[in-house]
Amino acid sequence: MVEETIFSKIIRKEIPADILYQDDLVTAFADIAPQAPTHVLIIPNVLIPTVNDVTAEHEQALGRLFTVARKLASEAGIDESGYRLIMNCNRDSGQEVYHIHMHLLGGRCLGPLLAK
């Protein structure tokens, strides 16, 4: 059995978050420790611990992550200047919450993807 995460409580609105978008498949909210002027987390409402746990039944929710990212980037005015979408998988990537989530970052030049 997969353990519930803090994101599960945000989805159910049991703990406060600046929710920017929510529907039956995904929830998006402002990151509490932003790394860029725009930093949003977009998560599936179903708990999927890592990308390694994704199955075909998750395809609709995972596709929705991208359409919501596009919508939120446009609303934030960063769709033309550019933004980055990041999804980490397991500890070496820096995944801290084991409920997959997409980071939407933008609002300034983000530089190279990885530090050398």
Give catalytic residues, as residue numbers.
Answer: 101
Distance between CA 58 and CA 54 in Å, rounded?
6
- In degrees rounded to 5, what are phi and psi of residue 100? -50, 145
Residue 104 CA neighbour count, 13 Å, CB half: 27
